[in-house]
Structure 1
């Protein structure tokens, strides 16, 4: 357990998107993932057109790094190659060839057939789309910046697909792990770097913006760094998701005190507009419904979640069923997915 005295806090009584006062959503929340000491409260914006969720009091920027001392991005472990994992990789390869133009060089037609099977299940499509952050192949070596790159998984993957990649992470341990994997990564906050305006074709933020004290400033900085017609892609938990409605305070994606803000499609789009973006798409996806369900069930039953602990077969089967159910619900309610995806274009 970390020493609570290490993390100082400040009050945040108003919504940072619309300025409306917040009402109490959940009180006495604990960090049941990585053991940061203390209790936290989550506020809910009382403006029905916004409904942002945020921590109040919130950890200060100067001390929040203590909440990441045991964070998962510090490590990288290569996956074990099995027949099923190779078959799955071949299916993803074929899907990315069909939908995004990342050409499969070897045994193309069997992989294309496997890839076509991805069209049959939404969660699997979402997972494959996520692997390239919804970006089509370009013969030009386009420049991609990932903010909050963690251990470098996405950067390594995109570099192998022909992108010129750069990463940044405020966590020195995570950044060092990424560098050891052969990608160019800077340490610190975005505004501390000497990046040139209009220098990137794509900027990605995968599960980063919920950790940031000033999300608007971050998106404004992204706007400045993008070329004309450049795109920012933001992935973050969705406060209006199907599983949040079920698990409430046990929903794994709340993750206090690291998740400072939890967005929905309305307030995330509003932030992007304030930052200067006019053309954008906001949607929800069901990619991680299985993982969120298993984590939330553990929090509800055991009051803690450790991803290294083996999950029972019954929970795994239940998670697959829930993921299918959420995919069906998503057909009728497009805001029900566990994650938000915003893709905005700089005009």
Structure 2
């Protein structure tokens, strides 16, 4: 009996020591931060972090079980939620919710791992030379009551595991982001609308992409054809000058240029063509400047669509609406609205 009492005393002393160490020496919270530089502009990285439908692709849990069942609610950004259920024990089931989002700078979220744990995550993006510095921090607080001390000891084990998970996720994020175009679209302000068709009288122009003066001369000839036709048949312009790009090939461009119009369609059409302007769901941006600005805007729009996983309409043709013709000396900038047709 004495040996048993002695054993109980030893156990009680050990447990008391562990309790004291856990209470007074071990932290009540877990905080892990991992960093990495992605060689892409900050806006591209933010697009992959701020939308959980995209973030799923670089999640360390998705890497373990790509066949898990995922469901999503809400649009990208604050309020969006992702739930998953997996037969893989390490993945299990859980929910992730974005609770705050600062465009191109920070995304805060809560990760609920079923009954196992609740973690707070904060991803901060900072533009640096050559790319984006990403800092991913995960924190957790131990609850009150009897679970507090065991939780503090568990944090010692979890720290290494969380570090590996964060490193895995950041590595996948870097790999996927660096497959995107290296184009900075942070200043882009796209709008998304359903565009109605209009009757359209136009001339088809094919010219060289390498000679801006020749392109402008060819376009002017096409516009004069359209204007003469509209005058002859008393057609009233119902909108701004519109260009519809039909092809780029071998440093040559083909496009339709003309005006939406109102009035009866002429019985005879010679030298020009009559149809409808492009229509349907479209992403569009307003560009101010010269031809170089317009070309840059096309590159930014394409990069934006790829980063945000926005699908263009198969066979859809981009088009431009000229709101203001710039002056030759550049004192008056050209204002053009570019439209990209979407699925």
Asked if these proteins are the same fold (TM beyond 0.5), I'd say no
Structure with the higher strand share, 1 or 2: 2
| Higher CA-based Rg | 2
| TM-score (norm: length of structure 1) | 0.22
Give the structure with the higher percent helix.
1
TM-score after normalising by structure 2: 0.22
